[in-house]
Copies of this chain bind each other. A is one copy, B any other.
Amino acid sequence: MSDFRPAPAPSDLAFIRFVSVANMMKLIHRIGVETMLADLVRYIEDDFRRWPLFDKTPRVASHSAVGVIELMPTSDGEVYGFKYVNGHPKNTREGLQTVTAFGLLARVDTGYPVLLSEMTMLTALRTAATSAMVARHLAPKGSRTMAMIGNGAQSEFQALAMRKVCGIEELRLYDIDARATEKTVANLRDRGFVLTPCKTAEQAIEGAQIVTTCTADKQYATILTDNMVGSGVHINAIGGDCPGKTELHRDILARSDVFVEYTPQTRIEGEIQQMPDDFPVTEMWQVLTGAAPGRTSDRQITLFDGVGFAIEDFSALRYVRDRLDDTGDYECLDIIADPDDARDLFGMLERARPGNGKS
């Protein structure tokens, strides 16, 4: 082109905020992990209370022999969000994370992304916050002891959230791999819990008002059998979260009142995949809005069949977005081509030609 036009600097709209793993950890430490867990409980609870207005869809899964890659989109009409997440149980044996994730928020009115964030760390926090939010509404009053079966990457976050939100003081820990329990004990030993490593799942459950199951094998397992579970407990079953992966014997489900996030997704992925399609469940948002009862008696077994739902990620991303202005824990990413003339993408490319004012 003969008329010279200097290459314009990208406009503000061309950038989105990016929270790297390093910045996410900085943000968590700045806020404090327990405070952030409590904050996330509040954000998730707020979004569950306005549940009906969300665009809801079961996650879009791409399955392979060794794992799954999923996209989890949702929208509240103003903000759109989605999470990319994989689940590869065999990764642990290769020194990789079973679950890695990242997420995005965008404006519904323009479709422009505004935030990209790591979500491996953030998912660990939101999963724990969701469990704690549910337990606050369903666990027996005065719960002080939690059994934690499966002491992997979720365990410390679950423990801290359950203490902060539900008052849990004692943790009874069991894992088929004793080193996992040692790791959890080491990570939590200076944090004021009574920590009791256990040799069996049966032993771990003794005296616990809340039982958390969070194991990672992709198979039909029976972490808990029916005779192990007494009356008056809350079971926080979060490890069974994909087709073919369950943790509880079906007889426990039959004796429990089962609470879920989003029924169509949980019927495919949760513990209730073992049950008939009309097995009765209550969605947690109904408990929060008063549309359905939560715990109704001391002897009742309440069971949260948690699989993780897109709205929880949306809440977590909203929270991160809201905290970035005052923390500065982000970078700017040049991921949107935003030419001065929207119809002139080619001209933008031409003006960026090396030697044309921009290298």
A contacts, CB < 8 Å to B? 1-2, 10, 13-14, 18, 20-22, 24-26, 28-29, 33, 55, 57, 60, 62, 64, 66-69, 71, 73, 75, 77, 80, 82, 84, 86-88, 91-92, 94-98, 100, 102, 104, 106, 108-113, 116, 118, 120-121, 124, 151-153, 155-157, 180, 183, 186-187, 189-190, 333-350, 352-354, 358-359
Give Cα A110–Cα B186 distance, bound, in whole angstroms.
Answer: 28
> Which listed residue (B28, B112, B124) contacts A100, Cβ 8 A?
B112
Min CB distance, A106 to chain B, in Å?
Answer: 6
Instruction: Determine the main DSSP class of A at the interface with B.
Output: mixed
Q: Shortest beta-carbon distance, A128 to chain B, in Å?
A: 10
Q: How far is the CA of A97 from the CA of B111 in the complex (A)?
A: 9
Q: Taking CB as reference atom, which chain B residue is nearest A87? A: B111
Residue contacts A-B, CB under 8 angstroms, 5 given: A1-B190, A86-B111, A88-B109, A88-B110, A98-B342
Q: How far is the CA of A134 from the CA of B338 in the complex (A)?
A: 29
Are the CB atoms of B92 and A112 closer together than 8 Å? no
| A133 smallest CB distance to B (angstroms) | 20
Residue of B nearest to A339 (CB): B97
Q: CB-nearest residue of chain B relative to A93?
A: B342
A112–B92 Cα distance when bound, in Å, is 13
**B64 contacts A335, C-beta separation under 8 Å:** no
| Min C-beta distance of A116 to chain B, whole Å | 8
Q: Quick one: which of B110, B190, B344 contacts A96, CB cutoff 8 A?
A: B110
| A100→B91 contact, CB < 8 A | no
**A354–B69 touching, CB < 8 Å:** no
C-alpha spacing A154/B10, complex, angstroms: 20
A334 and chain B: residue at smallest CB distance: B20
Chain B residues whose CB sits within 8 angstroms of the CB of A80 once the complex forms: 62, 69
